Amino acid sequence: MISDSNCQILDTTWGISPAPKSDSEYIARQLYRDEADQAIKRGVGYKDLFSTAKRQIDELNKVVKRNKKYKNYEGKCLDLIKEDLPVIDLLITDDEEIILSNISYTGTISIPKFLYIKSKQIVDFYSAYFNECWNKAKVL
């Protein structure tokens, strides 16, 4: 999805990101970041919206440092999300596709869930929500 994007990507990283527990989780996260980096290098507009959860700070700093040289990359941070609040992350590409994701827990075992939707109406709805959050966020 990210690799096919031509115009714009809206991406959130909210709440607590657990450390990858398995090799496959680590590989999946790395593939996601690699595709995001490639889209940014291709000139795709990329808005990265983070929360200030303690376990996000290291990733936030790495991503921003790596991409701040690109004019098409923007990173912001939203202080309003508490660490213990269950959140749904979203990734929107080119105003037509969205992935919603959530991580829940059974004890200490993380259970990631993803929902892919291709619908202009739903993407418009979530894009408006993303933009409201973006406007309240601080520039990194």
Domains and CATH numbers, the chain: 8-139 (3.30.870.10)
Edge-to-edge, what's the strand order for the sheet holding 73-78? 109-118, 97-106, 89-93, 8-13, 45-51, 73-78, 138-139
Question: What number is the average pLDDT over the span 52-68?
Answer: 77
The whole-angstrom distance between residue 16's C-alpha and the CA centroid of its chain comes to: 12
Mean model confidence pLDDT for the chain: 85
pLDDT confidence tier of residue 9, bands split at 50, 70 and 90: very high
Instruction: Pull the structure tokens for residue 94.
Output: 């080119």
Of 68, 61, 65, 80, which is closest to residue 14 (Cα–Cα)? 80
Q: Is residue 33's pLDDT more than 80?
A: yes
Given this model, what pLDDT does residue 77 score? 87
CA distance 117 to 76: 25
pLDDT confidence tier of residue 84, bands split at 50, 70 and 90: low
pLDDT confidence tier of residue 118, bands split at 50, 70 and 90: very high
Q: Is residue 72's pLDDT more than 90?
A: yes
